[in-house]
Amino acid sequence: MRTNLPDKPENCMVEVAMEILGGRWKLAIVYKLLLQGTHRFGELKREMTGITPRMLTRQLRELEEDGIVSRTVHREVPPRVDYALTETGRSLEEIVRLLDGWGRWYLDHRPGTSPSNPEQARQTADGPAGMR
């Protein structure tokens, strides 16, 4: 395996999940592949504003090693490579959606911030949307 995961059967496997998913762009990539399906390398690069090709490659390779995304090379000219979520990757759907919702909610509720766009964010008084 790529990283040495802590073997702590007693408790908290959150750290394990974070070890796999903690990369700067990883969950964002999963998010894209989840909502918009298979992407080519260039498509991902275009949509992930700010990422360098090197970083995109690395994050994708690590996700591949960890069994989250699959990589299919079409032997054509010009080259074409498709990235998609594996079954394991798709099992992250609920988590990714909740994280996205939480982030959206948090941006509008973090300490010392007044809601920037009240009608866009459908927040409630007691938590992020869709969490109950």
Partner DNA sequence: CCGAATCCTACAGGATACTG
Partner DNA sequence: CAGTATCCTGTAGGATTCGG
CB closer to its own copies, 37 vs 79: 37
DSSP string, 101-114: HHHHHHHHHSTT--
CB closer to its own copies, 84 vs 107: 107
40 sits near DNA (criterion: CB under 7 A): yes
Counting every residue, how long is the chain? 132
41 sits near its own copies (criterion: CB under 8 A): no
CB of residue 78 to its own copies, shortest distance in Å? 28
Give the long-range contacts of residues 126-131, CB within 8 A, separation 24 or more.
Answer: 128/98, 128/101, 128/102, 128/104, 129/101, 129/104, 129/105, 130/97, 130/98, 130/101, 131/98, 131/101, 131/102
43 sits near its own copies (criterion: CB under 8 A): no
Q: Among all chains, which residue has been given the structure tokens 């970083």?
A: 55
CB 69 within 8 A of CB 57: no
**Contact pick of 16, 34, 81, 84 for DNA (by CB under 7 A):** 81
CB closer to DNA, 53 vs 130: 53
**Contact pick of 28, 41, 99, 109 for DNA (by CB under 7 A):** 41
CB closer to DNA, 43 vs 93: 43
Q: Which residue ranges make up the site for DNA (CB under 7 A)?
A: 22-25, 40-43, 50-55, 57, 61, 71, 73, 78-81
